[in-house]
């Protein structure tokens, strides 16, 4: 469900469609016709994506929705888990991918970085190898930081009482990381 929210609604796909309509087609902002992989917009886009699930589901609501709509279709017996604690644990582990990128940049061996990921991210061996391969693609070693820092920049904004209005603004307007820092500190 987190993946669906991250890639689809209310995140990447939603953001791209809304910005194309409101900013490119209606206002003529040609820079909104494309979405470059590396740039300030990537930080905003991944901040939206990593916050998406929490914008439409409470932890209890997420578990209830899964139990009603997904588990039966997948033949899964629901297990009682504390989604809020699971999310918190996920947040605590968010910086691990960036750390792995730094380790590779320092010249650490693939094996050493793989062992770091297995130990701290709890990724299975096969997934760790895929992640290492991802980090070695040009620009991915930098892109990995957009997830963590995008979420960190948006977090204070999305904890406000008007968080849905703010999230809607993130989805429909040109917002830059520097604006989030500047406005949050003023």
User: What range defines the domain where residue 169 resides?
Assistant: 2-92+146-185
pLDDT of residue 109: 96
pLDDT bin (cut points 50, 70, 90) of residue 78 is confident
Q: Is the separation of the CB atoms in 10 and 57 below 8 Å?
A: no
Residue 40 and residue 120 in one domain: no
Write the CB contacts of 175 (distance below 8 Å, at least 6 apart in sequence). Answer: 44, 169
Residue 80 and residue 63 in one domain: yes
**What's the CA gap between 130 and 36, in Å, rounded?**
23
Residue 86 and residue 153 in one domain: yes
Write the CB contacts of 32 (distance below 8 Å, at least 6 apart in sequence). Answer: 19, 20, 23, 24, 174
Q: Is the separation of the CB atoms in 147 and 97 below 8 Å?
A: yes
Residue 109 and residue 120 in one domain: yes
Residue 25 and residue 50 in one domain: yes
Residue 109 and residue 54 in one domain: no
pTM of the complete model: 0.84
Residue 112 and residue 126 in one domain: yes
Dig out the tokens for 178 from the structure: 């520097």
Residue 83 and residue 99 in one domain: no
- What's the structural domain count of the chain? 2
Residue 72 and residue 34 in one domain: yes
Dig out the tokens for 38 from the structure: 């590396």
Q: Is the separation of the CB atoms in 38 and 46 below 8 Å?
A: no
pLDDT bin (cut points 50, 70, 90) of residue 183 is low
Residue 27 and residue 119 in one domain: no
pLDDT of residue 184: 60
Q: Provide mean pLDDT across the span 112-118.
A: 94
Which 8-state DSSP code applies to residue 32? G
Taking all residues of the chain, what is their mean pLDDT, rounded to a whole number?
89
Residue 20 and residue 67 in one domain: yes
């Amino acid at each position: 469900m987190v993946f669906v929210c991250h890639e689809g609604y209310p995140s990447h796909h939603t953001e791209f469609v809304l910005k194309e309509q409101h900013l490119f087609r209606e206002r003529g902002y040609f820079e909104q016709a494309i979405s470059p992989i590396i740039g300030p917009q990537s930080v905003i886009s991944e901040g939206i994506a990593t916050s998406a699930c929490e914008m439409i589901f409470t932890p209890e609501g997420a578990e209830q929705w899964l139990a009603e709509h997904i588990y039966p279709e997948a033949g899964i017996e629901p297990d009682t888990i504390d989604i809020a604690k699971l999310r918190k644990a996920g947040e605590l582990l968010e910086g691990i991918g960036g750390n792995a990128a730094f380790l590779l940049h320092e010249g650490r061996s693939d094996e050493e970085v793989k062992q770091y990921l297995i130990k701290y991210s709890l990724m299975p061996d096969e997934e760790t190898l895929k992640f290492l391969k991802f980090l070695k693609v040009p620009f991915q070693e930098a892109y990995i930081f957009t997830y963590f820092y995008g979420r960190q920049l948006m977090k204070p904004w999305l904890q406000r009482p008007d968080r849905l209005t703010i999230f809607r603004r993130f989805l429909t307007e040109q917002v830059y990381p520097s604006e989030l820092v500047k406005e949050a500190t003023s």
